[in-house]
Chain A
Amino acid sequence: QQQVKQSPQSLIVQKGGISIINCAYENTAFDYFPWYQQFPGKGPALLIAIRPDVSEKKEGRFTISFNKSAKQFSLHIMDSQPGDSATYFCAAGYNNNDMRFGAGTRLTVKP
């Protein structure tokens, strides 16, 4: 039973476009929602994270939108670049002992 559901599985976006990846969670005790970026042959690396006391967090071209009542959060990548092509994982948890990851989204940004 997957506690964090992520969609879409794959996404193709043109250079300069907006990439949107969505996640939904079930456990209302979760208080930390990170997004990880993974390039082929590498381990995941933290991209951006949000706590439930805010509805949006922006870092450069990357924005997390968070809807506590709907138990959903999303990653928006503005002005997508070919270098953004990677697999993205959302996660949710209240400590590292019980961090639950989504299934991942493979993003391809076409030049």
Chain B
Amino acid sequence: NAGVTQTPKFQVLKTGQSMTLQCAQDMNHEYMSWYRQDPGMGLRLIHYSVGAGITDQGEVPNGYNVSRSTTEDFPLRLLSAAPSQTSVYFCASSYGSGSGGANVLTFGAGSRLTVL
């Protein structure tokens, strides 16, 4: 059982370049999300999806696009990378998004992105 798989683990981009961070889960989770982790800022929610075909914005969505064509995959796209997007990105999934914490988030190992 692989859990949540993120690729690539490391990436260096130049300002203005585009790229896609891949996220796949094999747990049949309905809910998937992307976070960025920056020193002193904790984890901040970028985008999330409560099921295939449904996406929504989180706390810091600007500069990022997502789509959810299948239950398993939730790619994060940077259309024109900026140095401010240098961060560690985590994908997470859970069975659902209901209240009360019944749906524990499972995180991937992270993707470290540097934008020069």
State the A residues within 8 Å of B (CB).
2, 4, 6, 9, 31-34, 41-46, 49, 51, 89, 91, 93-104
State the B residues within 8 Å of A (CB).
4, 31, 33, 35, 40-45, 48, 50, 56, 58-59, 90, 92, 94, 96-101, 103-105, 107-110
Once the chains are docked, how many angstroms separate the CA of A51 from the CA of B104?
13
A96 and B56 form a contact (CB under 8 A)? no
Q: List 8 A-B contacts (CB under 8 A).
A: A9-B40, A34-B104, A43-B4, A49-B101, A51-B101, A98-B45, A102-B42, A104-B42
What 8 new A-B contacts, CB under 8 Å, besides A6-B42, A95-B99, A96-B97?
Answer: A32-B100, A34-B101, A46-B104, A91-B43, A93-B101, A97-B56, A99-B45, A104-B42
Pick the residue among B40, B99, B109 that contacts A94 (CB under 8 A): B99
Pick the residue among A6, A9, A46, A51 that contacts B105 (CB under 8 A): A46
A103 and B42 form a contact (CB under 8 A)? yes
Which chain B residues lie closer than 8 Å to A99 at the CB level?
A: 45, 105
Query: Chain A: which residue is nearest B109 at the CB level?
Result: A43
A31 and B107 form a contact (CB under 8 A)? no
A31 and B99 form a contact (CB under 8 A)? yes
Once the chains are docked, how many angstroms separate the CA of A32 from the CA of B38?
23
Which chain A residues lie closer than 8 Å to B99 at the CB level?
A: 31-32, 94-95
Pick the residue among B44, B97, B108 that contacts A43 (CB under 8 A): B108
Which chain B residues lie closer than 8 Å to A93 at the CB level?
A: 101
Once the chains are docked, how many angstroms separate the CA of A104 from the CA of B40?
7
Which chain B residues lie closer than 8 Å to A44 at the CB level?
A: 43, 90, 107
Pick the residue among B31, B56, B101, B107 that contacts A32 (CB under 8 A): B101
Once the chains are docked, how many angstroms separate the CA of A32 from the CA of B94?
15
Once the chains are docked, how many angstroms separate the CA of A45 from the CA of B92?
10
Query: Chain B: which residue is nearest A4 at the CB level?
Result: B42
Max count, chain B CB within 10 A of own CB: residue among A4, A6, A43, A102: A43
Pick the residue among A34, A89, A98 that contacts B42 (CB under 8 A): A89
Which chain A residues lie closer than 8 Å to B50 at the CB level?
A: 97
